Amino acid sequence: MIDTHCHLDYMGDPASARGELGLTGMVCIGASVEHARNAVALAERFPDVWATVGLHPTDTDEDGPEARAVLERLATHPRVIGIGESGLDDYWDDTKRAAQVAAFEWQLDLARRTGKPLVIHVRDKLGQDRAQRGVVDVLAAWPDQPVILHCFSGHAGLLACGLERGAYFGFAGNTTYKNAREIQDAARTVPLDRLLVETDAPFLAPVPKRGKPNRPGYVRHTLEFIAELRATTAEELEAVTDANARRVYGLPTP
């Protein structure tokens, strides 16, 4: 089983996460210059870890020529399989939308130039959807760029946009939460060949681990929950989501 989105370098002992609950691969997300370097180092160290490199929308204060030069260089590393996570985030009061859009568009261009998918982060304040609608607007100018909608929220507009452009949808531990009806509805309806499972570890631990630090192996709990939603077996869904992960990220077949 492949965890398609985790922050392995945030864990105190990354090596301990390997092989848990049948885990066979992890994509470690580099969401800043520092974490991009860490992600690449972990991918060099462990054969079952791959990396992405990018700039999270809440870290756009570090955007600039030097940061972009580092990320451009890292993006060509043979263990780097994606760009991001990038996108828009309106959760905090000091959101800098213009800076976020500029970084988002630059990373879309970097993904296009390197031939790698862009991992998209989108988050709004409770009850709002400005960031979701903003991502739809930005993506309209990049119709052919492969994207992964990480930690998909179930937003109807973003769902329609993603389905139209053939995006991949990453479902994380919050899919298992009791009040996550929109996410669960999306997990039922997204085409099987576009569905991914992820942890976002150490965040968003799924039921029955909710409230504890998340770990990459806990992706199995999310997969089992979605399998039940879709009235299929965990074994069948694992085969599909692993194949999807290998396709979108260009991973080798074991």
26: enclosing H helix or E strand: strand 25-30
Q: How far apart are alpha carbons 77 and 40 in whole angstroms?
A: 8
Q: What's the pLDDT score for residue 95?
A: 82
CATH at 194: 3.20.20.140
Q: What's the pTM?
A: 0.97
Query: How many independent structural domains does the chain possess?
Result: 1
Q: What percent of the chain has pLDDT over 90?
A: 96
Q: What's the pLDDT score for residue 43?
A: 98
* Residue spans of the chain under pLDDT 70: none
pLDDT digits (tens, 9 = 90+) for 39-95: 999 999 999 999 999 999 999 999 999 999 999 999 999 999 999 999 999 998 888
Instruction: Classify residue 237: in a domain, yes or no.
Output: yes
Instruction: Classify residue 254: in a domain, yes or no.
Output: no
Instruction: Classify residue 156: in a domain, yes or no.
Output: yes
For residue 151, the enclosing domain spans: 2-249
Q: What's the pLDDT score for residue 193?
A: 98
Instruction: Classify residue 192: in a domain, yes or no.
Output: yes
Q: What's the pLDDT score for residue 132?
A: 97
Measured from the Cβ of residue 12, the count of other Cβ atoms closer than 10 Å reads 7
Instruction: Classify residue 41: in a domain, yes or no.
Output: yes
Cβ atoms of 176 and 204 within 8 Å: the answer is no
